[in-house]
Amino acid sequence: MELTGNKKYQVFIIAFLVVLAYLLAYYFQNILKTSQIYTHFFYIPIILSCIWWRRKGLYVTGALLAMLLLGQLTYFHNAIRVDDWVRALMLTIVSLLAVGLSEALAGAKKQLADSEIRYRKIFETTGTAMAIVEEDTTISLANSEFESLSGYSKEEIENGKSCLDFVLEEEQEKIRAYHHTRRIAPERVPNRYEFKFVTRNNDQRDILAAVDMIPGTRQSVVSFSDITEMKQTLKRQKELQAQLSIALAKVLSGFIPICASCKSIRNEENRWIQIESFLHEKTEADFSHGICPDCAKRLYPEFYSDEQGQGRSG
């Protein structure tokens, strides 16, 4: 398998340290006739190789241990002493600890990378424009929905734009105060607020922003909901209600010609129509029909009397 650039450097460094360890072993054992100092240098290539290569780094440990023990036999022509076995054991323990720590760190890094991929996926597919904002108001991360809303590409936005660049100038000071206060006393500023969002084409959009701090950081995450159409719809609804109220007041104001007997009303075409038809034409209101108790007595006395009789006999 072809080695990457970093791997090549690591192999070169470990090879250099191992050769240096052999040279030190020769100097201390053959020239100075001692082995009490040079073995401390063995920890450097052992720890580095175990951190970089994890279990494969144990091969370096084995090579250095073999040099340590065989060197005693070669240069001193006697049996391996107890302190040599102790040094070998310590080097082995250190290498195993380094491997364990390195594998634990690698596992943590993998979990972190997996979490980052997962949350970045959620960040991208949430369906709402979102951004991560740094303490200095710089946008460090934006999703594709924010691209669509702003009109800028991610390359232009991330680490190149401030969140205030998208705020109407008259509102920038308020949003800036919210941003800095949130990092000091978050309970003093709202987590949801409206503002005017300015796009690349200088279009203004009504935005409802939801903001919160990312725990353990000085970053905040912001979601931007475009409520422009909703506000325009509500505005039109209010205008129509006002127009309807004015029209109704005009229709029902002044003198309305009404028959004193049947209560029909004469309209603009000089036709007599029932009052419910007149109101329906003017207000589009619908009517349901029934009979009040007084009319029931007058029109259907026999039914009314029967009901009264039943009531008395009961």
pLDDT digits (tens, 9 = 90+) for 145-165: 999 999 999 999 999 999 999
Is 241 within a domain? no
Chain mean pLDDT for the chain: 82
Is 242 within a domain? no
Which H or E run contains 209? Answer: strand 204-213
Q: Report angle CA 121, 126, 132 to the nearest 5 degrees.
A: 75
Is 246 within a domain? no
Residues 20 and 114 in one domain: yes
Q: How far apart are CA 71 and CA 30, in angstroms?
A: 9
User: What does R_g of the chain's alpha carbons equal in angstroms?
Assistant: 44
At residue 78, φ and ψ (nearest 5 deg) are -145, 180
Is 245 within a domain? no
Is 213 within a domain? yes
Is 67 within a domain? yes
Is 276 within a domain? yes
With contact defined as beta carbons under 8 Å apart, do 304 and 297 qualify? yes
Residues 66 and 115 in one domain: yes
Q: How far apart are CA 39 and CA 87, in angstroms?
A: 8
With contact defined as beta carbons under 8 Å apart, do 65 and 21 qualify? no
Q: Which domain holds residue 34?
A: 5-120
Indicate the number of domains in the chain: 3
Is 23 within a domain? yes
Q: Write down the pTM of the prediction.
A: 0.52
Residues 110 and 161 in one domain: no
Q: Final residue of a domain: which of 179, 210, 227?
A: 227
Residues 137 and 115 in one domain: no
Residues 101 and 193 in one domain: no
Residue 166: count other Cβ atoms within 10 Å of its Cβ.
26
pLDDT digits (tens, 9 = 90+) for 176-230: 999 999 999 999 999 999 999 999 999 999 999 999 999 989 999 999 999 999 9
